[in-house]
Structure 1
Amino acid sequence: MSRRAATLTLTSVLVLVFALVGSFMPVPYVALMPGPTSNTLGQNDKGQPLVKIDGREVYPVSGNLNFTTVTYRGGPGARIDLFTALRGWIDDDVAIVPEETIFPKKETQEQVDAENTRQMRDSQQNAEAAALTQLKVPISTQVLVDAVQKGKPADGKIKPADEIIAVDGAKVTSVAQVSELMAKRKIGDPVTITFKRGGAEQKITLTTVAVRPPGGAERAVVGIELSDQYKFPFKVDISVGDIGGPSAGLMFSLAIVDKLTPGSLTGGKFIAGTGTITPEGKVGPIGGIQQKMIAARQAGATVFLTPKDNCADAVDARPDGLRLVRADTLDGAIKSLESLNAGKNDLPACPAG
């Protein structure tokens, strides 16, 4: 055998061995890819309106206001192999990120999924609050029990989903008010909690115990975890299936505003976008902007609403044919869409990176 043939043979064997090893070698990385994109003005997989409003007049809508998602491969117990990671590093549509970016250390995949579900729930509530605030529709808040800590005074006496309405007779409508009242209680003090369960009002007196948060001072608690829940004057249902995370908030808000106001925000155009939303209408940054823009363009979008803190990365990765419009607030996003409909071009843009 000639030296050239021997070299080629050895190289082929080494490549084969590397391929075999690579296909079985798990690595602590996650592959992020463009995910499904759904029209918030359209229907979900079950043929029902993705955003459904009952108890209020709604108006016809047209065009698309699509939210975008990212899918992933990998994670604890299902790590990608070395070859998959290498292919992802050279694929412009895929981002390979360290595993802890998606799955924080000491958190299981089930815990991450549960947190994503909670974030989606909160995102939908914030989107409703932002939309109604934008439209100057009065809303109020209530305090709901999220969880009860085992072994603490409230364990077995107060339940998740109970509505806290008073602390020692003082009415409360926000978690901040409850925290302010509890901060005045000393360890061992009795506290009377008034709450509603199934529409019926109940009272219970509990004795506070001490907790010391990491790095914090000792304080008196009864062992309940609370969250603010908005009370809306009519019903808004947002049905997206098992999609999680907070990044569709802006697009949910726009869909609600569009359905509750005459005319069309899109003017029949295919608009997509992303961004978290606060109840006050402030748009926040998200992850996976590159994959979300690719998904939007592949679906047919020509305009992409982009949180300002994602602009630098978005400009560098913008697909051809997709116009980036910076979205700082819900109000600003609405004005941009109205300007688009009017044929104006002086829209807030993402600056070059």
Structure 2
Amino acid sequence: MPRRSATMLAATLLLIALLCASVLMRVPYSELSPGPTYNTLGAQDKAGTPVISISGHQTYPTTGHLNMTTVQVTGADYQPSLVSVVVGWLRDDVLVVPHDTLYPQGQTEQQSEQQNAEQFASSQDSAKTAALTELGIPIGNEVNVAAVVAGTPADGKLHAGDRIVAVDGTAITDMNQVADLVTKHAPGENVVFTVVPHDKDSMNPAPGDESQVTITTGKSPQSGKAMVGIQTQTGHSYPFKIDIGLQDVGGPSAGLMFSLGIIDKLTPTNLTGGEFVAGTGTIDDKGNVGPIGGISMKVIAARDAGAKFFFTPSDNCAEASKNTPNGLRLVKVNTLDDALKALGQIRAGQDSALASCTAS
């Protein structure tokens, strides 16, 4: 065989081998893509189940959209090929990130889902608190489970958002009481929590809602004392029932839109003026809006759903502005008050007055 032909054959075979390797080779990356959006003023499913339902207080009709946005992520066990990753990098509607970005330090998908569920429960509490504070409605206090550490005795028995009514029969009025009462036990002894689960009305529980949970204490690796593996926080009690009933959604990023949805339902003013507004952002009890992840995928999800305006945390503005979908106006917000002001401008048709995101 002539040398030139042999060289071309060898090169071709090498190229085929490299292509095969790129298809078969698995690399440690994960992918994010636009997820579904939910109108906080509307229903979450075909059965008409409202995203936000309020009872025990007057509510008002609403129109338009205040959509929260989500991101779909690949599972912890997902291992894309090198070709899939390269294709993802070239697409505008897929975000490829290192696997450890979503599942740090070998975190399992189940652990990630639990963490997201806890963040979601906490964000609902802050959204309710910020909304009612904005409306001048008094709020009480209670002691809640803030988080449950995976693999500890409380894992699967207590959940973020559970109200702790008593420990071993002692009424809980301060979060520090919980640790004090648990550490009175020796590791291996049982401690009894009286709780109202996070999906029940904690201040006005129906008969049977309040339950007793017995947990066998473990030994703290730091102090050697008894522990159950929970973090507690001072939560809030509300004078009427507000339910946020979304399933299979996690993380803290819907806080802002939940607050706006609650306010719209509790006030006679039609906040959107019939317009389609979407958005994202964490919220704290005081109404401060914080940044979130996956913003580039959320703006695409909003545009695809039909949104005209997108409320964007100011710290996400630069990233969101890089590839803003056509027809979508990014509105910069730092606080709940900023968002309410923007809605007033949208109702009045004063689009030019809106605080816009910029790429810088």
TM-score scaled to structure 1, two decimals?
A: 0.80
The question of 1:72 aligning with 2:99 is answered no
Q: How big is each residue's C-alpha offset from its partner over 1:22-73, in whole Å with a ceiling of 9 and x where there is no partner?
A: 2221111111111111211111124211111111111111111111111123
Q: How big is each residue's C-alpha offset from its partner over 1:202-232, in whole Å with a ceiling of 9 and x where there is no partner?
A: 9xxxxx999575xxxx697765632333211
Measure the CA separation in 2 of the matches of 1:151 and 1:245.
22
User: What displacement does 1:106 show?
Assistant: 3.0
Q: Is the 8 A contact 2:280 2:312 kept in 1?
A: yes
- For 1:46-195, list aligned pairs within 5 A: 46-73=47-74, 75=76, 77-145=77-145, 161=162, 163-164=164-165, 173-175=173-175, 178=177
Measure the CA separation in 2 of the matches of 1:232 and 1:106.
39
List runs of 5+ in structure 1 lacking aligned partners: 203-207
Measure the CA separation in 1 of the matches of 2:356 and 2:89.
29
What SS class does the counterpart of residue 271 from structure 1 fall into? strand
Q: Is the 8 A contact 2:40 2:67 kept in 1?
A: yes
- Relative distance call for 1:272 and 1:199 in structure 2 (3 A) is closer
Count of aligned pairs between the two proteins: 334
- Relative distance call for 1:98 and 1:222 in structure 2 (3 A) is closer
User: What displacement does 1:151 show?
Assistant: 9.7
Measure the CA separation in 1 of the matches of 2:220 and 2:75.
38
What SS class does the counterpart of residue 66 from structure 2 fall into? strand
- Relative distance call for 1:26 and 1:74 in structure 2 (3 A) is farther
**Counterpart of 1:328 in structure 2: which amino acid?**
N
Q: What residue number does 1:293 align with?
A: 299
Measure the CA separation in 2 of the matches of 1:65 and 1:2.
71
List runs of 5+ in structure 2 lacking aligned partners: 197-207
- For 1:260-339, list aligned pairs within 5 A: 260-339=266-345
- Relative distance call for 1:151 and 1:82 in structure 2 (3 A) is closer
Q: What residue number does 2:355 align with?
A: 348
Q: Is the 8 A contact 1:22 1:83 kept in 2?
A: yes
Measure the CA separation in 2 of the matches of 1:209 and 1:251.
40
What SS class does the counterpart of residue 105 from structure 1 fall into? helix
Measure the CA separation in 2 of the matches of 1:35 and 1:195.
38
What SS class does the counterpart of residue 130 from structure 1 fall into? helix
Measure the CA separation in 2 of the matches of 1:61 and 1:16.
60
**Counterpart of 1:266 in structure 2: which amino acid?**
T
What SS class does the counterpart of residue 246 from structure 1 fall into? coil
What SS class does the counterpart of residue 163 from structure 1 fall into? strand
**Counterpart of 1:32 in structure 2: which amino acid?**
L
Aligned-residue RMSD, C-alpha? 3.7
The question of 1:258 aligning with 2:264 is answered yes
Q: What residue number does 2:22 align with?
A: 22
TM-score scaled to structure 2, two decimals?
A: 0.79
Measure the CA separation in 2 of the matches of 1:209 and 1:167.
16
Q: What residue number does 1:205 align with?
A: none
User: What displacement does 1:350 show?
Assistant: 1.9
